[in-house]
Amino acid sequence: MTQISPSAAHWGAFNAVVRDGKLSETRPFAGDPAPPPLLGAMPAAVHSPLRIDRPYVRKGWLNGDRQGGTPRGAEPFVPLSWDAATRLVAGEVARVRDTNGPASLFGGSYGWSSAGRFHHARSQLHRLLASAGGYTAQLTNYSYATGMTLLPHIVGTNDILDGPMVEWPDICANAKLMLCFGGITLRNGQVNSGGGGRHEMRLWLQRAADAGVKLVNISPVRGDMPDFAGARWLPIRPGTDTALMLALAHVILDEGLEDRDFLAEHTTGHERLRAYVLGETDGVAKTPSWAAEITGLSADVIAAVAREAAGCPTMLTAAWSLQRAERGEQPYWMLVALAALLGGIGKPGTGFSFGMGSENGMGTPRTKVPSVTLPALPNPANSFIPVARITDMLEQPGGAYQYNGRNLHYPDTKLIWWAGGNPFHHHQDLNRLLRAWAKPETIIVSESWWTSPARHADIVLPATTTVERNDIGSSSADRFILAMHQAIAPVGQARNEFDYMADIAEALGVRERYTQQRDENAWLRAMYGRAQQIYAPLGVDLPDFDAFWAAGHVEIPRPAKGNVPFTAFRTGTAKLNTPTGRIELYSERIAGFGYDDCPGHPVWFAPQEYLGSPTAARFPLHLLSVQPSTRLHGQLDPVGPSAASKVQGREPLSIGPADAAARGIAEGDIVRVFNDRGACLAGARITGGLLPGVVLLATGAWFDPEHPGQPGSLCVHGNPNVLTRDEGTSRLGQGPVAQSCLVQIERFAGVAPPVKVSAPPPIEAAA
C-alpha cells in the first residue's frame, strides 16, 4: 500500500511516499522552482543501518568511570532498556544539579536539530532542563555570531544579517553594480533552518543578471558565482577583504567621490575612519597598491572598481563566511562603512546586506513575521557562554574572559547533554575538544544516527526522525508554514524527544512544568494558535488549524509593497537603535570596551594564518572549510549525493592543478592534509577556478579518528575541523574563526586506514 503525506526538512518541503511501512521516496513540494537534490537521500538515511536502534551506555561508565579514565569514543556500548536509561539520565541530572548547581549542567546543545519546530530536540532539551532547575546555555550561533554581536552597535539591528534585508526585486530594478564578497553560492541556497517551500536564489540571481546588474564575485573561488551570472571574478586571498574594502574607501575619499551629505547626516565617526584610511593616524595610507600586496589583486583593478561603484547605484553583500574568521568583525564593519561612503543605504536596491548567497530566502520579498515556535521557558541558572567557547569552558572552569563589554567566568561543567547538534561537526580544533571532552563526569547524547557525538557519549538516547512524528515546519526566511504528518512508525526503539523527556521530567518530579499538560496534538494546535494571534495584527490571517493540517501548508502571500531597510532612517523620520541614533563608523561604546582586537573603528589586522603570514612558509595552503553541496553539515553524510561524492571513501578536497602538480598529486589520490593542530585524509579532486594556494574541504565528513579516543590521531575520513583553529574572533564577538586556517598537503603513500564511521560502533551484550 502506498501512502503520501506532507513533510519538511531544512533542505525543503516534500511529500513523503510510504510503501509497506517504509519511507520509499520524497517528492518535492509543488511549485518549488529548485528543489534540492538532498531530498532524495532521505529514505536511505531514515532506514540506514547507522540508525541508533535503542538506548546504550558506555561500558566503562557503567562500571563507574566518571572522570574520563577511559577516553570517550574508544569503548564498546552496552544496550539499555528505556526504563533503565530514563532512570540513569534523571539520576545524573538530579545528582549534578544538587551537588554542583544547575550551571554545571551544560545544555547549550547547539545545532540545527529538525525543521519541525515542536520536536526540535534542542528546544525540547532546554525546556526540560529549565523545568528541572536550569542549565548553562549557548548564546549566538556558529553561522554569524560575530556579525550578530557587532551590528547592533553600529546599525542598531541584526535584520540586515538574516532578513528582512535589501530585496532582490529592488536590486534588479535599481542597482547597476553588485559587489558580492564571498560570491552568491547557489550550493548554500539549498537550505534554511525550518525548511522552505520555495528555493529562489538561482531565480533571483538570474533575474539580476538579466536586468543588467553587473555582478562581481569577490572570492578565492570562481564557482562561488554560477556561470550564467556572467560575473567578473576578483580572486582575492582569503581573510583579506577588509584590506580591499579599505583601499576602495581610499580611492573614494582621495578622489572626493564620497556622499558627503549622507556621511554628515546619517553617520558618526566618519572623520576618524577617514584619517585612518588616508594614513593620517598610523602613517599607512590604505591605497590600492597597499591592498594589492595583501589581497593579491592588482591596484588598477581595485581603483577601477572603486570608481565604478562610486559612479552608479551599487549594492554590497558579504557572505557570512567572511566573519567566521580571525577578527571577523572588521570586514563586516568596513562593508557598512563602504556602503555609507557610497550613500546608497535606505534607497531601494542599494546599500548593503549580508548573506544574500548564504541561505535560502535571503533577499526574497516576504512579510516580516516570526516563525512558528515552541515557547521557551526561563532558565533559572542564568548561565551562558558565547556559542563557540565550549572548549575554553571545559578547559578552564571558573576562568575569566571577556565578551562584548562584559567580564564573565566559565562554569564548572560536570554534565553535558547534547540533543540535535553535532559538536564534532561544528567545533574547531577537534583534538583540543576531544581532550577537553574527557573532563565532565557524564555526557548524554540524544541522536538518531551513530554520529561522532553519539560515539563519544556515555549515555546514548535514540531519537525519531522527522517522518516518524507530527510537526510544523516554519522559518522566518520562508513564506510557507508546513504541516509535517507522521509518515511511518518509529524505527527500532527510537522515541520522540518530547515523549522520553516527559518521562525523565516525571522522574525528576517536573512533568507538568515540562509538558504543560499538553500532548503532541495539543502542542501543535497551541503553537499554531499563537502564530495566528501574532500574525493577525501584522496583516496575515491564517486559516484554522484543521484546514491548515488538511491542506498540508499555508502560503503567506507575498507583500504588495517591498521592504526597503533604513528608509525611515534615511528620510529622517526614525533614528537607529545605536547610542547616537546614527550609523557608527566610530563607536564610542566599542572603543570604551578597550579591546585592542576590536578598536573603535574598522581596521586591517593581518591574520595569524593567511597566505601572507609567516606561518605560510610551513603551511603554504589556505584551507577553506566551506558548506557542503551534498548534505547539510554532517546530516545525510553517509547516504545519497554525499556518499556518492567520496573519493576512495574519503571526503573530496578541491585543489588547483598547479598546487597538485607541485606535490605530485593526481586526480583521485588519497592525500594527507595537516598542520600543527592535526591531520586528516581526503580524496584529491583537481579543480579549476581556485586562487592558487587555496584548497577547499567542505565541512561535514563524520569525524573518524584512526585511534578512537586518542586526541591527535589522523581523521581517516576528512573532517576539516581537526585542522581549524579554535579561538574567538575577538573579545567583542567571540565567534568561531574556522576560515583562518593554513595547511600543507602531501600524497598519502601506502595503504590508507579504513573508514570506520560507515558502520555502528562496537556493541557488547549486557553483562
Contact flag: residue 146 with ligand MGD (CB under 6 A): no
| CB 305, CB 291: distance < 8 Å | no
Active site (catalytic) residues: 110, 112
359 touches, from Mo ion, ligand MGD, none (C-beta below 5 to 8 Å by class): ligand MGD
| β-bridge partners, 6 | 15
Q: What are phi and psi of 752, to 5 degrees?
A: -75, 135
C-alpha radius of gyration, the chain, whole number: 25
Contact flag: residue 113 with ligand MGD (CB under 6 A): yes
Contact flag: residue 412 with ligand MGD (CB under 6 A): no
Least distance in angstroms from the C-beta of 279 to Mo ion: 37
- The packing angle between helices 299-310 and 241-254, to 10°, is 60
Q: Which amino acid is at 583?
A: I
Contact flag: residue 321 with Mo ion (CB under 5 A): no
Element (H, E) at 58: strand 56-58
| β-bridge partners, 449 | 51
Least distance in angstroms from the C-beta of 300 to ligand MGD: 19
The residue assigned the cell 513575521 is 369
Contact flag: residue 475 with ligand MGD (CB under 6 A): no
Contacts of 370 (CB under 8 A, 6+ apart): 476, 534
Least distance in angstroms from the C-beta of 20 to ligand MGD: 24
The neighbour count for residue 101, using CB atoms within 10 Å, is: 16
Least distance in angstroms from the C-beta of 449 to ligand MGD: 5
Nearer to ligand MGD, 263 or 655 (CB): 655
- The packing angle between helices 329-342 and 145-154, to 10°, is 40
Could you say which of 93, 179, 191, 249 contacts ligand MGD (CB under 6 A)? Answer: 191
704 touches, from ligand MGD, Mo ion, none (C-beta below 5 to 8 Å by class): none
Least distance in angstroms from the C-beta of 643 to ligand MGD: 15
735 touches, from ligand MGD, Mo ion, none (C-beta below 5 to 8 Å by class): none
587 touches, from ligand MGD, Mo ion, none (C-beta below 5 to 8 Å by class): none
Contact flag: residue 134 with ligand MGD (CB under 6 A): no
β-strands 56-58, 459-462 pairing: antiparallel
How far from 405 is each of 383, 400, 590, CA to CA, in Å? 17, 13, 8
| CB 143, CB 158: distance < 8 Å | no
Nearer to ligand MGD, 174 or 428 (CB): 428
Contact flag: residue 114 with ligand MGD (CB under 6 A): yes
| DSSP assignment of 103-166 | GGEE----S---SBSSS-HHHHHHHHHHHTT--EEEES-TTTHHHHHHHHHHTS-SHHHHSS-S
Contact flag: residue 295 with ligand MGD (CB under 6 A): no
| CB 219, CB 187: distance < 8 Å | no
Judged by CB under 6 A, the stretch of 25-33, 183-191, 304-312, 377-385 that binds ligand MGD is 183-191
Least distance in angstroms from the C-beta of 624 to ligand MGD: 5
Could you say which of 164, 238, 346, 693 contacts ligand MGD (CB under 6 A)? Answer: 238
Least distance in angstroms from the C-beta of 287 to Mo ion: 36
312-351 footprint of ligand MGD as x/- string (CB under 6 A): -------xxxx-xx--------------------------
Q: What are phi and psi of 417, to 5 degrees?
A: -130, 120
Nearer to Mo ion, 62 or 697 (CB): 697
Closest by Cα among 697, 729, 725 to 627: 697
Contact flag: residue 236 with ligand MGD (CB under 6 A): yes
Contact flag: residue 143 with Mo ion (CB under 5 A): yes
Nearer to ligand MGD, 73 or 346 (CB): 73
The grid coordinates listed for 472 are 510544523
Q: How far apart are CA 620 and CA 402, in angstroms?
A: 33
Least distance in angstroms from the C-beta of 141 to Mo ion: 6
The grid coordinates listed for 146 are 560575530
Q: How far apart are CA 78 and CA 766, in angstroms?
A: 6
Q: How far apart are CA 194 and CA 374, in angstroms?
A: 12
Nearer to Mo ion, 90 or 387 (CB): 387
Nearer to ligand MGD, 565 or 720 (CB): 720
Under the rule (CB under 5 A), what is the footprint of Mo ion? Answer: 143
Under the rule (CB under 6 A), what is the footprint of ligand MGD? Answer: 111-114, 119, 121, 142-143, 181-183, 185, 187-188, 190-191, 218-221, 224, 236, 238-239, 241, 319-322, 324-325, 358-359, 419-422, 425-426, 446-449, 451, 463, 497, 624-629, 632-635, 699, 720-721, 724, 738-739
